[in-house]
Amino acid sequence: MGKEKWLAAGYRHFALHGPKDLSINKISIEIGSSRASFYHHFGETDIFIDELLAMHWNMSESFITAGVEHCKNLLPDLYNLLAEYSIPLQFNLQLFQNRNVPNFNLLFIKSYTAIANALELNPSYPGVYDLWVTVGEAWYSRLDPNDLSASTMQQHASEILQTITRLKNSKLYLSLNRIA
């Protein structure tokens, strides 16, 4: 049972504070367990982080299953569901913000691609998938961990989509299209 406590608290700490501020001392105090218990279960911090990443992939799969079942419309259903998964969303935000770490980048891309597949945004059709990635990266860059309400997240998506639509309808876009 001790290992599960470490993982649950570690997952939340990673999500809220990021990998740089992941503190085994703080987690041990929070769960009332010794550092020796941590080393008994994980041996080292890198193994602990690998298990947190595996745990996040499981959370991503759970989110995808819930999304397929409950998201009949992208707006607002997806954002209502994301608000219910605020800790996994913050974990994914940490992965996004720390994409310079290869394992974090790989998991971010893997989970983001899996969501696109579940939404039937076929990655073999580059235009749709590329737009999904572009909008998603812009959306993640706007997220404020202190306000992950469904309405705020949906507002970010709507603003980004409006910007893309304005660009697509601009003379600049048309002139770039002629060059390409």
What distance in Å separates the CA atoms of residue 85 and residue 81, rounded to the nearest whole number? 7
**Spatial CB neighbours of 111, under 8 Å, sequence gap ≥ 6:** 56, 57, 60, 92, 95
pTM for the model? 0.91
Per residue in 6-44, pLDDT tens?
A: 999 999 999 999 999 999 999 999 999 999 999 999 999
Residue 126 has pLDDT above 90, yes or no: no
- Residues 138-167 as b/e (b if ≥16 CB within 10 A, e otherwise) read bbbeebeeeebebeebbebbeebeeeeeee
What's the pLDDT at 23?
A: 96
Which of these ranges, 80-84, 119-123, 149-153, has the smallest mean pLDDT? 119-123
Short-list 12, 8, 51, 55, CA closest to 33: 8
pLDDT in tens, 154-167: 999 999 999 988 98
